Structure 1
Amino acid sequence: MSVLDKVNSPEDVKKLTNEELENLAGDVREALLYKVSEVGGHVGPNLGVTEMTIALHYVFNSPIDKFIWDVSHQTYPHKILTGRKIGFTKGHFHDITPYTSQHESKHDFFTVGHTSTSVANALGYAKARDLTNDKGNIIAVLGDGSLSGGLAMEALNNAGQFDGNLIVIMNDNEMSIAENHGGLYAHLAALRASNGTAENNIFRAFGLDYKYLADGNDIQSLIALFEEVKDIDHPIVLHIHTEKGRGYEPARTDKENWHWHVPFDLATGESKNSGAGKSYTSIVLDYMDKKMQEGSPILAINAAIPGIFNLKSFAAKYPKNYWDGGIAEQFTITFGGAAALAGARSFIFHNSTFVQRAFDQFVHDLAINNEPAIVFVKGDVISGSDETHQGDFARGWISNIPNLVYLAPTSEEEMLAVLDWATTQHEHPVIINVPEHGVESRPTVLTDFSHAQYQLEKSGEEVAILALGGLYSHSEKVAAELEKSGIHASLVNPLFISSLDKEFLTALTENHKVIVTVEDGVVDGGFGQKVASYLGKYNVKVLNFGADKEFNDMVPVTELYTRYHLTPELMTADILTALKD
């Protein structure tokens, strides 16, 4: 019988001997490694905080004492110890979410999957506790580079003027998703080297008390530290040095690739799925390399996610032309936009679910100043991700900002044509929606993308399908289904997400009864609704296909396509019904 078999709640952790606590750490690691090897997930961050989590539950009394986790990448051990270990057994992997959820457990307080939020959340809870005369310690857990996010700094600054109990754990594992970037991390290194005694201390500068623990993977040292600060009457930062990936050699030696990992062979660490081959990312990287060889002042920028775009290969070859801003999406947009305005060719790479944090910078910096940066947005698709990483909202908010040229190429040829134009024009920011359904080849005649020019790929009548970006080939299947009913639909590649080709749309109304828009994201505020708004004065019906405005949590894509009537069969049925009405 393992020690974990005896642990079904935090109360059980408190009953364990020192030896059992050590054995429990091994059991927890074994359970979480088993799960992530089968279904993928965050590996390194969770392995690194196993001892810390055990010590927290040994000393404090959750949920009266509240653990506010940052980004949730470190919460698998917490879930295991708070009655959710069933989620780490075969057949039950998806019974629990990969992130904290107040709907799942009384030991969680937020649904959170983005970084740098924990201190602000914890401070809000602490203030409310004192106003309502409630009890309990409030503990925020920062980590994985979260300190580079502006919200974390704003929260620490405000915590410095708080006069009640607040414990902030700075989990320093010397890593973000990739390696940390910025002068702040040299400062943390100096604190580590001095065992926390360095006179220059950013946390004390904010007005916060401070303690350092060199071995954050030693359970007894952690217990002693937590017992020392339990029920403290003022804010304090516990700077705890841990090892990301501890307990699994592949994750310990290759921390970046094992931050999150696809399913893998537990014995060898080899991935079970291969993602090799040409991608739109590789096409862009090859293009950048070509431009560098031609002497273009390319500046590749990202916010701590180089692995998503394989930017490390570019960085290794052209280190002076690469900038990782850390977890600081806002910074990358303002910085990259300014560099573009000053003459560099800024290529800014973002994941859709993270770039929403920089909405103000898109408006106030890029758009108002017409900074000719090129921003690549990946992951703006209907997907089976959890609700904290749902990426299909970007099209709606970006497309409603003036001055941006927002494009959705459907093929390698179009991507290259867009890049050729974007790198030579200086009038507007260019946002490129990266297709997610495999690289396709399709000729293009466009070379100027300064104004909307829809492309009629197939001429028909009665029905016109405007298929945006990655769903163009999907819509070809719809056209084929309509052929079975004798309907020869026109097929249009609009390419422009936020700009309407009004002349083209007007011409469609002359010989089409139903105009269909298809997009790989939320319909509300998106491409289709703009088309429908313009065509409202004409005697045509407009059907908008895309996602509903809702949060989805790990819903299979096939189920979502059925729900949204995005399968070729359901789309065809809806179109035929509209023709009859």
Structure 2
Amino acid sequence: MEIKDKNLEELEKICSDIRDRIIDVVSRKGGHFSSTLGAVELTVAMHKVFDIKKDPFIYDVSHQCYPHKLINGRWDEFETIRQFGGLSGFTKPKESDADYFVAGHSSTSISLAVGAAKAIKLKGEDRTPVVMIGDGSMTAGMVYEALNELGDRKYPVVIILNDNEMSIAKPIGSISKYLSKILAGKYYQAFKERVDKNIIQHLPTGATYIAKKIEESMKLITPGIIFEEMGIDYIGPIDGHNLEEIIETLEIAKAMKKPVIVHARTVKGKGYKFAEGQHERWHGVGPFNVDNGKFVKKNSAKSATAVFADALLELAKKHENIVGVTAAMPSGTGIDKLMEEFPSRFWDVAIAEQHAVTSMAAMAKEGFKPFITIYSTFLQRAYDQIIHDVCLMGLPVVFAIDRAGIVGNDGETHQGAFDISYLRFLPNMILCAPRDDKTLEYSLEFGYEATSPCAIRYPRGAFKQLPYKASKFELGISELLKEGTSNKLFIGYGAGVSRACDTEALHKEDISILDLRFVKPLDEKKLKELASKYDDWYVFSDSQKQGGVASAILEFLDKQKVCINVTSFEYEDSFIHHGDTKKVEESLGLLPEQLVLKVK
């Protein structure tokens, strides 16, 4: 879609068409919604002012990248957004040259822009990295590490701060709003430049000091002081839906040839009345009715997340030393229920996984029992803190790892494939997994009693309920669910137990099924016993094969000098694509009907 030669009226029509397309497709297919609707004018203005063919367009998280995809040659293909084999819901260079970098986790954009700017300078090219970052992403420490260097190096980078929750700077009455409007204008920016170069620099020392103090005192009642103090020019706040104002401001920022933050206020869900405003449920949505905003009803089965939240709530009522934290995902992890019930004991620390882990380590040292509830893919961001601040001291912190395994439409950046592999080798760490709702409740009770770090993983969506009576967790003890007559043994871990059961049900042999429960420590006594009975072991776990459950079992068997044929049905060494979970599993050969053939 050509943007450069369009006038304002034509650009506004393009904005309207983009919104209509997003509403139409997402209402039928699902996807990220309110954040991307709120960024339409900002995106169109970016493409008007900057050159997508040479300037790096860097989207933070890229929840707001749908307008960018529509502008850059994917209008018809947009029908396939987040579908198996279709467009990714995030920026993806393999999909289009217009997508500069993969994005799915937050707060990486400014660091990328600094790196790009360094490369551009070394190559002597005339290009400007332009970033779009949301106010939520500004809570992560990595942003300030990047800003710290950028303010010192002074590389030409334009950062568009898409503020849809006013969490960066709340306006202080009409004076602040008026001054901010002045600061956003081209006349003020030109005046400021002339004053700095032609007047202040040539004043006597005392007069220069006074002039600088006057300028700084004006900044104190504007929202941009934190950026100005870091050496980065600030413009704003501006109206993030006023196309003319955005274009004019970006032209100024581009011409400044130095790091600039353009602070734009936007409305989440802009253009669709049911989604406008601070409604978390409209961030990522399933299909819905456009006319009334009602969502298409999903499977009514209770999700593992909901089971976790209810079980932890009951535990917290019994034990006053239980505390908890999440990183910007209160409703996604179910912690919102506990924050409402116990606001002084459960917290959302925003996008700050490292801080979440280390702060809870200190609470554990003070005698509290912390439950850190984070998605598997986001817990990766705090790996050093898990090692250095929790495991090294053996502190009894519980990691409740949500979204472990395949998460479906979010794809490569969000699949919970690696937590077993990256946690299993840490000293003092306990790793366990429930197979259904009741064993999830029991695992939390076990975690509360644990005297060292403990990680409990559970899947997105609902567990399949199995016909085996649940028993309480004991450290390193597995559970033989079914003793068959075949020389084969199915070993399931977590949600992998139900896949083992489904596969066994389709098989004509009478096969034994073991719920491993703990991958660290392993139930060595039980495994030795089973090694004398079964020649062929098959491992079922929703996790990466390398360093995973089968690896742990093979290491044990090798140490015992026991020869068993072990086949792993874990994920191969690759990143898993997005799409409907069942289609993704089929592509990996992990459906029970496919596994039966492999076993045979």
User: Is the aligned partner of 1:233 residue 2:223?
Assistant: no
Instruction: Say whether the 8 Å CA contact 1:370–1:428 is kept in structure 2.
Output: yes
What's the CA shift for 1:193?
7.6
User: Is the aligned partner of 1:466 residue 2:491?
Assistant: yes
1:249 alignment partner, SS class: coil
1:71 alignment partner, SS class: coil
Q: Which residue of 2 aligns with 1:27?
A: 17
1:457 alignment partner, SS class: strand
Runs in 1 of length 4+ with deviation above 4 angstroms?
A: 89-94, 187-193
Instruction: Say whether the 8 Å CA contact 2:29–2:81 is kept in structure 1.
Output: no
Larger mean Cα displacement after TM superposition, 383-392 or 274-283: 274-283
- Find the partner of 2:133 among 130, 139, 142: 142
Larger mean Cα displacement after TM superposition, 533-542 or 299-308: 533-542
Give the TM-score taking structure 1 as reference length: 0.89
Change (3 A) 1:318 1:556: closer
User: Is the aligned partner of 1:498 residue 2:520?
Assistant: yes
Q: Which residue of 1 aligns with 2:211?
A: none
- Find the partner of 1:112 among 92, 103, 116: 103
What's the CA shift for 1:111?
1.2
Instruction: Say whether the 8 Å CA contact 1:296–1:345 is kept in structure 2.
Output: no
Instruction: Say whether the 8 Å CA contact 1:546–1:564 is kept in structure 2.
Output: no
Residues in 1 aligned to 2:21 and 2:32: alpha-carbon distance in whole angstroms: 13
What's the CA shift for 1:494?
0.6
Amino acid at match of 2:518: F
Residues in 2 aligned to 1:429 and 1:294: alpha-carbon distance in whole angstroms: 21
Q: How does 1:136-215 map to 2 (within 5 A)?
A: 136-174=127-165, 185=168, 187=169, 194-195=176-177, 196=180, 198-199=219-220, 201-215=225-239
Q: Percent identity?
A: 30
What's the CA shift for 1:524?
0.8
Amino acid at match of 1:414: T
What's the CA shift for 1:192?
10
What's the CA shift for 1:238?
1.3
2:275 alignment partner, SS class: helix
Larger mean Cα displacement after TM superposition, 153-162 or 57-66: 57-66
Residues in 1 aligned to 2:120 and 2:585: alpha-carbon distance in whole angstroms: 44
Residues in 2 aligned to 1:122 and 1:100: alpha-carbon distance in whole angstroms: 15
What's the CA shift for 1:13?
1.8
Q: Which residue of 2 aligns with 1:518?
A: 540
User: Is the aligned partner of 1:541 residue 2:532?
Assistant: no
What's the CA shift for 1:133?
0.7
Amino acid at match of 2:470: T
Instruction: Say whether the 8 Å CA contact 1:408–1:435 is kept in structure 2.
Output: no
Q: After superposition, what is the alpha-carbon deviation per residue over 1:424-454, rounded to whole angstroms, capped at 9, x for unaligned?
A: 33x21111111444252642334432xx111
What's the CA shift for 1:418?
2.0
What's the CA shift for 1:118?
0.7
- Find the partner of 1:432 among 456, 461, 467: 456
Change (3 A) 1:189 1:380: farther
Residues in 2 aligned to 1:279 and 1:382: alpha-carbon distance in whole angstroms: 15
Q: Which residue of 2 aligns with 1:325?
A: 349
What's the CA shift for 1:334?
1.1
Change (3 A) 1:92 1:255: closer
1:516 alignment partner, SS class: strand
Residues in 2 aligned to 1:254 and 1:242: alpha-carbon distance in whole angstroms: 11
Paired residue total: 551
User: Is the aligned partner of 1:133 residue 2:124?
Assistant: yes
Q: Which residue of 2 aligns with 1:417?
A: 442
What's the CA shift for 1:112?
1.1
Change (3 A) 1:41 1:406: same
Q: Which residue of 1 aligns with 2:288?
A: 264
Give the TM-score taking structure 2 as reference length: 0.87
Residues in 2 aligned to 1:146 and 1:503: alpha-carbon distance in whole angstroms: 48
Residues in 2 aligned to 1:144 and 1:276: alpha-carbon distance in whole angstroms: 34
Q: Which residue of 1 aligns with 2:363?
A: 339
RMSD, aligned CA? 2.3
Amino acid at match of 2:41: E
Q: Is there any run of 5+ residues in structure 1 with no aligned partner, and where?
A: 1-7, 577-581
Amino acid at match of 2:176: S
Q: Is there any run of 5+ residues in structure 2 with no aligned partner, and where?
A: 181-217
What's the CA shift for 1:412?
2.6
Residues in 1 aligned to 2:434 and 2:43: alpha-carbon distance in whole angstroms: 46
Q: Which residue of 2 aligns with 1:579?
A: none
What's the CA shift for 1:571?
2.8
Instruction: Say whether the 8 Å CA contact 2:406–2:417 is kept in structure 1.
Output: yes
Q: Which residue of 2 aligns with 1:479?
A: 504
User: Is the aligned partner of 1:57 residue 2:82?
Assistant: no
What's the CA shift for 1:253?
3.5
Change (3 A) 1:294 1:535: closer
What's the CA shift for 1:130?
0.6
What's the CA shift for 1:383?
4.3
Residues in 1 aligned to 2:80 and 2:539: alpha-carbon distance in whole angstroms: 41
Q: Which residue of 2 aligns with 1:123?
A: 114
1:546 alignment partner, SS class: coil
User: Is the aligned partner of 1:509 residue 2:541?
Assistant: no
